[in-house]
Structure 1
């Protein structure tokens, strides 16, 4: 089938619509409503799950305060001497650094000194602590001594909401003080913090904030690397750990990809709020994990050169989070992921040019898809859609998996699918319009053919030409009346009535084959002549049957079939005494029954070479008298109801 050719106006309409849709999607992408951002996050999660997962670094090791530990050592929080023992055991195992994902902000109330003081204040009694070793009197001091024996990093929690009753900001370990923040950075700014005890903070090597800031859907895809308080730049717990390990943070800067934190020779890119996009290594359990109770009471593993991150994983301690790779992901594993990303130097990046690149991709794909829809057929467009959608997705996946750039394919896929869908509808509408025009042209050609055949009959007998026009109108009037009756309603729909109207003029086409001596004879026909005249029904039916056989169009076959039925049966009578087949009652096709009455009425009221015209009233009585004998009773009833319309038609075409 030849591809549809479009007019210049249609081509411009398709191109213009495609450009408008593309512009709308570009604007939507730049404005970035929350709903679009939400779906982009979901697309990111799917893409991240399709990236090839790299093996984690052996450096992070997790020391879990898990359900097993709580069962063995009792409810949380544990006495500080237990934590001191845990840190000492990790030191003995060879750990380079111990990082505590804990906030030790209150004094240990199980310390003997605090127990003695509380008893004295509440009951007036005092207990004798003589004989206890000095380092056992104060568990906080015991923990501070353990912290001071090796490199350790403590956690504190930043508070970002104003608090008018807040205490002075506690002593922390800033990266830099007094440095101006580059334009384009809008870091999380802390009002105050929940910090470790001063004795513990002083004993630790470093400290950092432990805040996790999930996206609005509750999923942690990124985590803050730096934050701000006054003019102090504060590190996260893991950044403080990396700095303690020897990677000194030099400062902040900007390059083509956006803002970054300089870690030694490595640039770690951050977003405007100071967050790092995490490259997860796998679901929960990816990193080597030991239960705290196993470290305290079992054989020690070899932790040489490793960073031990201590923190809760037990379900009741509230430090499990949703991530793109697992719905239950302990906080210490989030920290381990960031540490691993920083050590392997492969954090993901949402570059500063991402939105611009995505907008260009939207514009390019929108224009190309519009041009494709203008010039190609359905199969080519479908193939283009499949190739385009797959290509856009694959490109985004490659960028995320390789160089680590997060470039969203969502809006580009939206414009591709949207253009294809909407422009397909427009093309369908244009093709439907063209089809209607062509169908109308075919109908006009069909009407012209019918009227040409009518004119052919009229060259043989002028009376036959007028007869053909009048009987067509009579049949239309009768069909419309019968269509309102339940008995005929399902047979006489709008299309069938139109076919009856168009095919009725061909009922006497067979008269072209009748000799002029018979057709134009002014007097009565002899018996032999009448038999010859009767042949016009068969001649007409044969002619139309041959045309029907040669037709390849189903609508043409339907039209010609109905015309053939009328030509063959319009001289049949209800009682079976008609010709050429002697059909009776409803065995006579409905079109033939309608034409039988129309034919007789017209013969009665018009002048012929062999008789004068009969008055309408007299013709009316003759037809009523033929009810149930010559004519279908229902057709006669319809005629009686519309006999004035018959009279008007007869006068109009006389």
Structure 2
């Protein structure tokens, strides 16, 4: 072999080695074992650039945000507002504006305390025994003044989805569970023998039982998937707690708006491997939503604040 041919062969082998090494690194990265920080940074940069270039920068009128802003607090008082005020808001949104579904990304885990109701309870406890007429009057007054009852009644027969927050860790002395959860969207026995690394919760702050009982559903609005640079690019559609799967607030709203069809996990089953790497999508009736190995989606940002109408 001549020196010139030897040099050409050496350059060719170097190129093949570099290409093979890069291909191997990317294959290992995609497979998740291990993950390489520099590849993550490149992916994040490319994703952010694509989002900035592809954002429609238009207003989507199908989704309206009811904002608790400074102007509304000046008019109605500081947050939290009385439950009776929230009940009036729910009534107005459905009766006047004709909303199809309503999502509440606010926690209602505990009862609203009303001093007037507490005084009525004390009066009822100390009233003369056998005074049925007085007891009935006190009971009626109590119902009229109890904002929890008024708020719960406003949810009846309406497509309202409550919000709750899962906990990924617990501090010493912190309660594991507060309030209640809505029914899961997929029970443990419905999930089957799959090996998907769903985001797993260790506790939750849920909803007051009398509110959740009257709501049409519920969904979590915590954001457990934050990238190393502190940016939220992905959102899980499902989280696992007690073996069951619960929907995000967005998924619960979409599910309800679509008529509550069956939900299932879609896998690439050519290898008969029901693991996260083969999880392809979430099926919501006739709608298919592509997801990653954790049943999460990249957030399709539309633009800056104002991309949806505000009330």
The TM-score normalised by the length of structure 2 is 0.79
Shift of 1:104: 0.5
Shift of 1:255: 3.1
Q: Secondary structure at the match of 2:229?
A: coil
Q: 1:115 to 1:73 in 2, by over 3 A?
A: farther
Matching of residue 166 in structure 1 with residue 176 in structure 2: yes
Is the 2:178–2:205 contact (alpha carbons within 8 Å) kept by the matching residues of 1? no
Is the 2:117–2:146 contact (alpha carbons within 8 Å) kept by the matching residues of 1? yes
Q: 1:180 to 1:97 in 2, by over 3 A?
A: closer
> For 1:133-532, what aligned pairs fall within 5 Å after superposition?
133-161=141-169, 166-167=176-177, 170-177=180-187, 178-181=189-192, 183-213=194-224, 214-245=226-257, 246-255=259-268, 258-290=279-311
> For 1:584-623, what aligned pairs fall within 5 Å after superposition?
none
Q: 1:9 to 1:117 in 2, by over 3 A?
A: farther
RMSD (Å), alpha carbons: 2.9
- Matching residue within 77, 81, 99 for 1:95: 99
1:470-506 CA-to-partner distances (Å, cap 9, x unmatched) read xxxxxxxxxxxxxxxxxxxxxxxxxxxxxxxxxxxxx
Q: 1:52 to 1:73 in 2, by over 3 A?
A: closer
Gap regions ≥5 residues in structure 2: 30-34, 124-136, 270-277
Shift of 1:51: 2.1
Shift of 1:191: 2.2
Shift of 1:141: 0.7
Structure possessing the higher radius of gyration over alpha carbons: 1
CA distance in 2, matches of 1:35, 1:259: 25
Shift of 1:100: 0.5
1:566-620 CA-to-partner distances (Å, cap 9, x unmatched) read xxxxxxxxxxxxxxxxxxxxxxxxxxxxxxxxxxxxxxxxxxxxxxxxxxxxxxx
Structure ranking higher in strand proportion: 2
Q: Secondary structure at the match of 2:222?
A: coil
Instruction: Give the structure 1 partner of residue 275 of structure 2.
Output: none
1:111-170 CA-to-partner distances (Å, cap 9, x unmatched) read 631466699xxxxxxxxx969844432111110011115221101111222578534883
Gap regions ≥5 residues in structure 1: 1-5, 120-128, 291-654
CA distance in 2, matches of 1:273, 1:259: 10
CA distance in 1, matches of 2:307, 2:178: 40
CA distance in 2, matches of 1:148, 1:46: 45
Is the 2:279–2:295 contact (alpha carbons within 8 Å) kept by the matching residues of 1? no
Is the 1:169–1:192 contact (alpha carbons within 8 Å) kept by the matching residues of 2? no
- Higher mean Cα deviation, 278-287 or 243-252? 243-252
CA distance in 1, matches of 2:299, 2:73: 30
Structure ranking higher in helix proportion: 1
Shift of 1:55: 5.2
Is the 2:179–2:208 contact (alpha carbons within 8 Å) kept by the matching residues of 1? no
Is the 2:198–2:239 contact (alpha carbons within 8 Å) kept by the matching residues of 1? yes
Shift of 1:86: 0.8
Q: How many residues align?
A: 277
Q: Secondary structure at the match of 2:154?
A: helix
Q: 1:107 to 1:168 in 2, by over 3 A?
A: closer
